[in-house]
Amino acid sequence: MIEARSLSKRFHDKKRGDICAVENVSFTCRPGSIYGLLGANGAGKTTTLRMLATILEPSDGTALVFGHDIVEDPEKVRASVGFLSTATALYPRLTAREMVEYFGRLNGLDEATLKKRIDDIFDRLDMNSFRDRRCDKLSTGMKQKTSIARTLVHDPPVMIFDEPTLGLDIMAARTIVAFIRECRQAGKTVILSTHVLSEVEKLCDVIGVIHNGSLLAEGTPTQLREEYQEKDLEEIFVKIVTAHVAPRAGVEVS
Amino acid sequence: MSARNIGIVYRKELLEALRDRRTLISTILVPILLFPLLTVGVGFVIADLIEKADREPARIMILGGTDSPAIVSSLAKSKNLIVVSGPGNYVDLISNKKIRAAVEIPPGLQSGAGTDFAPMKIYMYSGDLKSTTAAKRIEDFFNEYRDNLARDRLTVQKLPASFLKPFVIKQQNVVSAEKVAGETVGGIITYLVIIMCLTGAMYPAMDLTAGEKERATMETILSSPISRTHLVLGKFLLVLTASLVTAALSVTSMGISSWVIQHFQDQSSGSAMHIKIGLGAVLAVFLVALPLAVMFSAALLTIALFAKSYKEAQSYISPLMIVVVVPAIAAMLPGIELTPRLSLVPILNVSLLCKDLIAGNYHWNSIALIFLSTCLYGGAAIFIAIKMFHRESVLFRS
């Protein structure tokens, strides 16, 4: 379970002054379901997920991740989370096995448990053919599998995916999508950020639309379709965002 | 504090460092090869050049000397000198290296019984090896001529040769070989240890901070449960290891190179070794340099962490070299000695102390003061590095 409570994050930029990247965002993600954070580039998705993963500290508000407070107990939060994004690359000079072992050890696994976990994961993800190959020699698909293995090694109850298929080819993206579904089936709490609407339609049980740092709408795909009287998710997204932007800009909405 | 977590990070960083060609070159290969190449290689090249200049006949010009034909003829017959005559100004000829030197023979040198000859001038190209050698040959010729003249005159006066040199002057060293070592090579060894502590830490510090940002692995590690304090300490230990290994290999390599050179010199000249550096002194130098290496490693980590890329980190770190080199060189200057005030100046204090240690002078008050103050600076540098690893504006600078 993830419970975000009035999360806010402000940055200071020398040129632009104080910037509010995330403002008063609250939502709940439940175990066994996928929460999709949908928004354009710069909407605040990555900042929100980085706060949930305790990579960034919130300026205001907090969140409970698997019962641990992200401000009070960040290390326990990270031990409960598997975080995967395009910015979480692999160490090029380690082999796939060493990479996963490293994160297993950092998560406090003993050597016997770690070996068993790695054998299981490598079998499941069909990684044995490249387990001792250095990460800088792996193909994109192999790298994705190694990253998945890295997030799974400590069997976290919460999975956070920040634009996980960004820049991937179709096959590598399919591997990730299949993995996210497996996480839901395994009863994990899953939160996913994306701006790819087809991905949201395929995967998400609940959608939160984020724009300019604020959560503008939330609901299941069915609830959103009913509320905005549109079938197409893209139209729904545009309606939500336009309704928010137009009054701010002083434009009349017809 | 979890030693287990720090150990996990350290072992992983060590494994990666051992697989990185650039780290291996900067930490192991350069210190091993640099000094044999510099001392043996460059030494042999210089020796060869000197030998060549010594063998090669030098073209010289005689100015005046028309009333001293015997001297001119004798000079022309000298070994390795070729007297040339002809048009041209001797200054231009020396400047253009057409001739190597010119000698101006004062009037009446051969016949003169007087003692008020004008000074004999040898014109040469300062700094040019071949010109210096030619000038030396001319000087040797006339020294011998003068000595013979004086001896003949003493014989005429029925005076002994000791009349002109009633006693000889001889310098005699009275201090131990260790003290000689401290004064002669102590400064260089200390400089070497300090500079190598810095250069050895440079590449790993950049690789473990800016390099991580560039390779997008910083966010990966920050998403793991390890605390940032443990993470920075694990990284710091690896940088410190590289720093100390580089310094140790440099000194070992320099020691072996010097021993080889000295061994060959002893065999050829039969002279006894006058310099001695004990293993204890070398270990003491390393012990004193340890907190300095701590300070360098932590400072380099902190500075490199600000950079977004490896290249940017290089531009931040390069000026640091000057900050370290200046006090390290200052300790080698004659006349600068350890005082209570200088004991608190970072880098310079360690340089001066190490020089003393190599000379076998153990002033325990200074040792304690310098060791503790450097530990304090090192501790402060680690503290700042940890603080910087907690700052989002530094870690996620865009």
ipTM of the modeled complex = 0.88
pLDDT number for residue A246: 57
pLDDT band at B163 (very low <50, low <70, confident <90, very high): confident
Q: Which residues of A touch B19 (CB under 8 A)?
A: 93, 134
Instruction: Using pLDDT thresholds of 50, 70 and 90, give the confidence band for residue B117.
Output: low
Token digits for A151?
A: 């997030």
User: Are residues B225 and A89, on separate chains, in Cβ contact within 8 Å?
Assistant: no
Min Cα–Cα distance to chain A from B392, Å: 7
Is A75 within 8 Å of B217 when comparing Cβ atoms?
Answer: no
Contact B226/A106, CB-based, under 8 Å? yes
pLDDT of A215 over the 60 cut: yes
Average pLDDT of the residues in B51-61: 85
pLDDT at B79 over 60: yes
Each residue of A65-92: pLDDT tens digit? 999 999 999 999 999 999 998 777 899 9
Comparison of pLDDT for B330 and B231, the residue scoring more: B231
- Which pLDDT score, from 0 to 100, does residue A245 have? 67
Give the confidence band of B272 by pLDDT, cuts at 50, 70, 90. very low
The answer on pLDDT for B271 being more than 60 is no
Instruction: Considering only residues A64 and B192, tell me which one the structure prediction assigns the higher pLDDT.
Output: A64
CA distance, residue A81 to nearest chain B CA (Å):
8
Q: Alpha-carbon distance A253 to A243, whole Å?
A: 7
Between B8, B393, B396, which is nearest A106 by CB? B8
Position A150 pLDDT exceeds 90: yes
Give the model confidence (pLDDT) of A6-56 as tens digits.
Answer: 999 998 877 778 888 999 999 999 999 999 999 988 889 999 999 999 999
Phi then psi dihedrals of residue B380, to 5 deg: -65, -40
- pLDDT score for A250: 43
Whole-number Å distance between alpha carbons of B263 and B271: 10
Give A102's contacts in chain B (Cβ within 8 Å): 8, 12
Q: Do B219 and A57 touch (CB under 8 A)?
A: no
Mutation choice for B interface testing from A102, A136, A153 by most B CBs within 10 A = A102
Q: Is residue B201 pLDDT above 50, yes or no? A: yes
Q: Token pair 């090579």 is at which residue?
A: B185
> Which residues of chain B does CATH 3.40.190 include?
54-163
Q: To the nearest whole percent, how much of chain A has pLDDT over 90?
A: 61
Chosen from A15, A56, A106 to mutate, greatest number of chain B CBs within 10 A: A106
Predicted confidence (pLDDT) at residue B357 exceeds the cutoff of 50: yes
pLDDT of residue A181: 93
User: Could you say which of 1.10.287, 3.10.20, 1.10.3470, 3.40.190 is the CATH number of the domain covering B54-163?
Assistant: 3.40.190
Which pLDDT does position B268 carry in this prediction?
A: 60
Cβ pairs bridging A and B (under 8 Å): 64
User: Residue-wise over B243-271: b if at least 16 C-beta within 10 A, else e?
Assistant: bbebbbbbbebbeebbeeeeeeeeeeeee
Helix (H, G, I), strand (E, B) or coil at B103: strand
Pick the closest to residue B255 from B198, B189, B342, B302 (CA basis). B189
Helix H or strand E segment including B160: none
The pair of structure tokens assigned to B36 is 């044999």
Are A98 and A105 a contacting pair, CB within 8 Å?
Answer: no
Q: Which residue has the higher pLDDT, B1 or A202?
A: A202
Kindly identify which residue of chain B lies nearest to residue A78, measuring between CA atoms.
Answer: B225
pLDDT at residue A249 in the model: 47
Query: Which residues, at least 6 apart from A186, have a Cβ–Cβ distance to it below 8 Å?
Result: none
Q: Are strands A206-211 and A60-65 parallel, antiparallel or unpaired?
A: unpaired
User: For the residues A184-206, what does the mean pLDDT come to?
Assistant: 90
A11 contacts on B by Cβ (under 8 Å): 393
Question: Which among B19, B214, B224, B308 is the top mutation candidate for probing chain A, defined by the most A β-carbons within 10 Å of its own β-carbon?
Answer: B224
Q: Which domains does chain A have, with CATH numbers?
A: 1-80+173-254 (3.40.50.300), 88-155 (no CATH)
The share of chain B scoring above pLDDT 90, in percent, equals: 30
Task: Name the more confident of A106 and A167.
Answer: A106
Identify from A15, A80, A88 which residue to disrupt to test chain B contact, counting B C-beta atoms within 10 A and taking the largest count: A88
Chain B residues near residue A90 by CB distance under 8 angstroms: 217, 220
Distance (Å, rounded) from C-alpha A206 to C-alpha A218? 7
Which helix (H) or strand (E) segment holds residue B59: the answer is: strand B58-64
Query: Considering CB atoms only, which of A57, A75, A85 is closest to B392?
Result: A57
Asked if B223 lies within 8 A of A55 by C-beta distance, the reply is: yes
Task: Using alpha carbons, list the distances in angstroms from residue A150 to B27, B126, B131.
Answer: 31, 69, 71
**Residue A85 burial (CB count, 10 A):** 23
Nearest CA to CA, how far is A126 from chain B (Å)? 23
Among B1-10, B142-151, B158-167, which is the least confidently predicted range? Answer: B158-167
Q: How confident is the model at residue B269 (pLDDT cuts 50, 70, 90)?
A: low
Asked whether B102 and B78 are in contact (CB, 8 A), the reply is no
